[in-house]
Amino acid sequence: MEAIGVVVNPIAGMGGRVGLKGTDGKLEEARRRGAEPRAPDRAREALRSLHRRAPDLAVSTAAGVMGERAVRDAGYEPEIVYDPADAAVTDGPARVADPETAETSADDTRAAVRALLAADVDLVFFVGGDGTAVDVAETLAEADGETPMLGVPAGVKIYSSVFGVTPADAGRIAAEFDRVERREVNDIDEDAYREGEVRTELKAIVPVPVAPAVQSGKQVSSGSVDSLAAGFAREVEPGRTYVFGPGSTVGAIEAELGIDPSPLGVDVWRAGTEDGESGGALLARDAGESEILSVLESPATIVVSPIGGQGFVFGRGNHQISPAVIRRAEEIEVVASDEKLADLDSLRVDTDDEEIDERLRGWLQVRTGRFTTRLINVV
């Protein structure tokens, strides 16, 4: 590979930590809740990983926070082929947008990809989530459909199998791949997702660099977890605060405890006292990071289930359980049915905080049933 094209969706993932489960149509609400951009930092991490391995690549990108800033920070001198402020820019100084107020759209992403193709890049390296992946894939399909694409995961939900597992993995893959294979681009209805319903739709089949660290598509399945939920409920500690992550497995535990769960949100619940004089109390339902922190009291346990087919425990679909929340909890309990773990040889974390990620790595006992556990490595 001699030339790479970079495009960043600067608002991708902003809705996750504040409990919006996505940013599509919710940017102003995300900002009102205090959301901060995460895509630019993840772009820099990926591009620095790429630069360490391929410092002499020719890089084309879009102006400002759509790519230029991260590319320069990584050590490259890019060719600017698109500027959302005034169409294509091919020479001279480019506009540098304020990352806090950058207003880019799907149209900008598509226009940037068209400009990258016109620059004859060998790979479109994009930063965003499933929505960005759809924009890139559909634009590539309108051209020859043969230019490969690879994503840096920065969105709230990642159902497509076109992303590196982590930003650093994506950079390494971009530098080292020697062949491609066809992979799926999927997207979901974010409004339905916010209501607790997952509606996935296959949008494209695209060429993607082949490497073990390209994540699988998310499995949408629902095995029986009744015995797991019953086993967890009987061991609840009186007076302990529980942060319940998204998903049907954890939702079954909440239902066993008499809680009405938010299926794809995060709930905070405190168990009743040991003498039975007071029952459990739901402290927050479908909460964002700040609300979780405001009601979280020790002792506290975070309860999460990995994403089927991908194995992510933190960093996909549960950004509300942020590094700050993880630091406040004394325990983390991972629960999953044997069916969900059947195709996973390890679990993964991607919290945006390397100290937390490193702390979470290692061998972990995962509860799989009423009395059973399985030892699995978090990498």
Cis peptide before 10 (omega within 30 of 0): no
User: 234 and 267 share a domain?
Assistant: yes
Residue with tokens 């029952």: 279
Q: Name which of 107-116, 215-224, 255-264, 323-332 the model is least confident about.
A: 215-224
Alpha-carbon distance 47 to 52, whole Å?
9
| Predicted confidence (pLDDT) at residue 268 exceeds the cutoff of 60 | yes
Calpha distance 337→225 (Å, rounded): 6
Higher pLDDT, 104 or 111: 111
Q: Look at 94-103, 139-148, 186-195, 316-325 and tell me which has the smallest mean pLDDT.
A: 94-103
Contacts of 140 (CB under 8 A, 6+ apart): 113, 117, 124, 147, 149, 206
Shared-domain flag, residues 258 and 361 = yes
Write the CATH number for 139: 3.40.50
**Is residue 16 in a domain?**
yes
The answer to whether residue 238 scores a pLDDT higher than 80 is yes
Query: Is the pLDDT assigned to residue 150 strictly greater than 90?
Result: yes
The region of weakest confidence among 54-68, 91-105, 187-201 is 91-105
> Rounded to whole angstroms, how far apart are CA atoms 307 and 316?
8
Which has the minimum average pLDDT: 214-218, 269-273, 336-340, 367-371? 214-218
CB 281 within 8 A of CB 257: no
- Structural domain tally of the chain? 2
Least trusted range by pLDDT, from 10-19, 100-109, 282-291, 316-325: 10-19
Can you tell me the mean pLDDT for 297-322?
91
Q: What is the pLDDT of residue 220?
A: 45
Higher-confidence position of 278 and 339: 339
Domain-embedded: residue 369 = yes
If asked whether residues 189 and 320 sit together in one domain, one would say no
Q: pTM higher than 0.75 for the full model?
A: no
Q: For residues 194 and 312, state if they share a domain.
A: no
Whether 214 is covered by a domain: the verdict is no
Q: Which residue intervals of the chain are DSSP H helices?
A: 27-32, 39-53, 68-74, 106-118, 130-142, 167-176, 190-194, 226-234, 248-256, 289-295, 323-328, 338-341, 354-360
**What amino acid is encoded at 377 in this protein?**
N
Q: Are residues 204 and 309 in the same domain?
A: no
Q: Of 1 and 73, which is predicted with more confidence? A: 73
**Which of the residue ranges 120-134, 189-203, 314-328 would you say has the lowest mean pLDDT?**
189-203
| C-alpha closest to that of 70 among 102, 42, 36 | 42
Please, how many CA atoms are within 13 Å of residue 317, restricted to the half-sphere of its CB? Answer: 28
Q: Answer whether residue 201 is part of any domain.
A: yes
Rounded to an integer, the average pLDDT of 261-277 is 80
Which pLDDT tens digit goes with each residue over 154-179? 877 678 889 998 899 999 999 999 88
Residues 277, 313: one domain?
Answer: yes
Q: Rounded distance, CA 7 to CA 9, Å? A: 7
Domain of residue 279: give its range: 226-378
Do both 80 and 165 map to the same domain? yes
Residues 154 and 260 in one domain: no
Higher-pLDDT residue of 293, 11: 293
**Does residue 195 sit in the same domain as residue 321?**
no
**Is 220 a member of any domain?**
no
Q: What is the mean pLDDT of the chain?
A: 84
Residues 49 and 181 placed together within one structural domain of the fold: yes
> 239-276 burial string, b = 16+ CB within 10 Å, else e?
ebbbbbbbbbbbbbbbebbebebbbbbbbbbbbeeeee
Beta-sheet strand order (sheet of 123-128): 79-82, 58-62, 3-8, 123-128, 149-153
CA separation, residue 97 to residues 66, 206, 324, 372 (Å): 9, 31, 29, 53
Q: In the structure, what pLDDT confidence band is assigned to residue 11 with cuts at 50, 70 and 90?
A: confident
Instruction: Calculate what percentage of the chain has a pLDDT beyond 70.
Output: 80
Q: Do 261 and 348 reside in the same domain of the chain?
A: yes
Tell me the average pLDDT across 81-103: 57
What is the percent of the chain with per-residue pLDDT over 90, rounded to a whole number?
56
Indicate whether 53 belongs to any domain.
yes
In-domain check, residue 327: yes
Residues 247 and 366 in one domain: yes
Residue 13 confidence (pLDDT): 65
